[in-house]
Amino acid sequence: MIVCDIGNTNIKFKQKNNIFILSYDEPMPKFDEKIYYISVNKRGEDILNKHFKNTQNLSHKITFHTKYNSIGIDRAVCCKYIKDGIVVDAGSAVTVDMMKNHSHIGGFILPGLKMYKNIYNNISTNLSKEINFDISLETLPLNTADAVSYGAMMATISPILTIANNQDIFVTGGDGKIVSKYIKNSFYSKDLILNNLEKIAKRFVC
């Protein structure tokens, strides 16, 4: 059994303990098994189905309790097995969702960390600096490079901590490791979506 998560920039596969992350332009791996997938990107889904004959979209098999209107299927899968707490998926966007007693209460969307260099550059060339993802948030910056790095990290971390208000915080996504480093006692899981997807697929198949 292979599971696959099609995002806006990458297609991710999990086969047993192996994870494959490919951009849309890279050649697909060779798989003989059936691929159970979710997708938030039509182009990616088309690429998958062009390369593999034995695929199944799991989206409509997934139950998820929320009043959120058209939540991304990746967010639903990410949150599915969390009883209580905040779920953060830090990718090209950072989604922040709240679960209470196995129900999804709502959530919001922040710009992804890797976007900030471009964001500041578009405002002014004076602010065109590399973002330092190790910047300390303990002391206030004393130069522009630190001021934009501090701004990018605070714009991401502060909203999460504010709504978490001491609830558990679960973090995943390409930049999840960076985010979790700034949130003491957060629970970082590298491949939360693929792991959950595998759990869902196994239950569905059995």
Known catalytic residues? Answer: 74
Torsion of CA 42, 58, 198, 189, to 10 degrees: 50
Helix axes 144-164, 116-123, angle to 10 degrees: 120
- Residue 1 vs 109, nearer CB to a second copy: 109
- Residue 18 vs 139, nearer CB to a second copy: 139
Distance, in Å, from the CA atom of 73 to the CA atom of 92, rounded to the nearest integer, reads: 16
Site for a second copy contains 166 (CB under 8 A): no
Radius of gyration of the CA atoms of the chain, in A: 18
Binding mask 36-75 for a second copy (x = CB under 8 A): ----x-------------------------xxxxx-x---
For residue 65, the cross-strand partners are: none
Q: Kindly tell me which residue out of 21, 151, 188, 195 binds a second copy, with binding defined by CB under 8 A.
A: 151
| Closest to 172 (Cα-Cα) out of 85, 103, 101 | 85
Binding mask 86-105 for a second copy (x = CB under 8 A): ------xx-xx-x------x
Site for a second copy contains 106 (CB under 8 A): yes
DSSP at 115 = G
In three-state secondary structure terms, 158 is helix
Site for a second copy contains 141 (CB under 8 A): yes
Distance, in Å, from the CA atom of 90 to the CA atom of 179, rounded to the nearest integer, reads: 7
Which region among 17-25, 52-60, 136-144, 177-185 touches a second copy (by CB under 8 A)?
Answer: 136-144
Distance, in Å, from the CA atom of 156 to the CA atom of 91, rounded to the nearest integer, reads: 12
Q: Report the interface residues with a second copy, using CB under 8 A.
A: 8, 40, 66-70, 72, 92-93, 95-96, 98, 105-112, 115-116, 118-120, 122-124, 126-127, 139-144, 146-148, 150-151, 154-156, 158-159, 161-163
